Amino acid sequence: MKNKQSLGAFPRTRMRRNRGAEWTRRLVAEHRLAVDDLIWPVFVIEGEDRCEPIPTMPGVDRITIDRLSGAVAEAVDLGIPAVAVFPYTDPALKTPDAREAVNPDNLVCRAIARVKESHPGLGVICDVALDPFNSDGHDGLLRDGVVVNDETLDVLCQQALVQAGAGCDVIAPSDMMDGRVGAIRDALDGAGFAHVLIMSYAAKYASAFYEPFRDAVGSKAALKGDKKTYQMDPANTDEALREVALDIDEGADMVMVKPGLPYLDVVRRVKDAFGVPTFVYNVSGEFAMLKAAAGAGCLDYDRALMECLLAFKRAGADGILTYAALEAARLLKGSE
Ligand code: PBG
């Protein structure tokens, strides 16, 4: 901003003039949400021709693989660039060594393959972390009650390789183990997957806002304790910059801040400090909060949703993972 004098003063300056009509508000708008900014997370389950509502996420279902092509077809029609696929793993397949995570024929690998087969031009993103597969519900392996870092890295690398083998375009490590981005990058490069991207959950906080997601993937009942020894303390932002710096050094193509709304300051700091493609995860608890408020008649869902998504853009995000991606894309289309 220039010095105060040059900014004008009332009555010659009237801020309301620029806001006086729709056309001028459109001209002076500084930020815009576009369908190109949206990533749609979807949940898959075993079975045929089935969808299972997730009670804590109104309007979101777990769907069987045969329904996946139909579901993503709508995303493609709306112009959404990418989906993120999450599996609900049969509890009988969960083990302390999370071995189902590295099964090349597991649910999420089959889901990835199906999406790429039916919609090759749609980007497919997949988490690397052990929580959907681990009988302890943690993102890493547990030894004597402690989540162990370096042993977990080996499994994460194998997991990334089976997902890349299934056709996954973007590996998204969400586990918060130290050194995982570099380890996964080397593993991918060594196996002929140099073209596969890494979007790291770089600044991922130990948050209360993940609960509905843990219902959705069925890891809530399994989880013993909390994730504070690997996910970040909500009190810290300098630490977020160190996390992001390390992940970029280790080869991340894109970084993510998560959750979204309570961490807009972190999104802004990351974008300003590094200027790399920066994503934000509008997580399940944020989604549930808005749905609950709208359901209780406290606010207008569509308007509140678009305001929140625009806030991510204002904070500097290049893209947003949101369960409301289809709703937002439809609203954007309707307003064209
Ligand atoms: C798994 C993972 C989580 C989310 C994305 N990947 C949950 C967690 O870390 O416990 C949360 C997403 C959401 O709440 O929408 N590591």
Question: For 119-174, how does the pLDDT look when each residue is reduced to its tens digit (9 = 90+)?
Answer: 999 999 999 999 999 999 999 999 999 999 999 999 999 999 999 999 999 999 99
> Rounded CA gap, 178 and 246, in Å?
9
Residues with a CB atom less than 6 Å from ligand 1: 127, 129, 131, 139, 174, 210, 213-214, 227, 283-284
Share of the chain above pLDDT 90, in %: 95
| Closest residue CA from atom 14 of ligand 1 | 210
Residue tagged active-site, from 94, 227, 258, 313:
258
Q: Which CATH architecture has domain 31-334?
A: Alpha-Beta Barrel (3.20)
**Closest ligand 1 atom to Cα of 323:** 15
CA-to-CA separations, 284 to 215, 220, 268, in angstroms, rounded: 10, 13, 21
Q: What is the spatial distance between Cα 80 and Cα 325, in angstroms, rounded to a whole number?
A: 8
- The pTM for the full model equals 0.97
Element (H, E) at 320: strand 319-322
State both tokens at 33.
């949400």
pLDDT tens, position by position, 18-30: 999 999 999 999 9
Expressed in angstroms and rounded, the spacing between residue 1 Cα and the centre of ligand 1 is 39
Q: Is 116 a catalytic residue?
A: no
Helix (H) or strand (E) holding 195: none
Range 62-75 average pLDDT? 97
Separation of CA 254 from chain center: 12
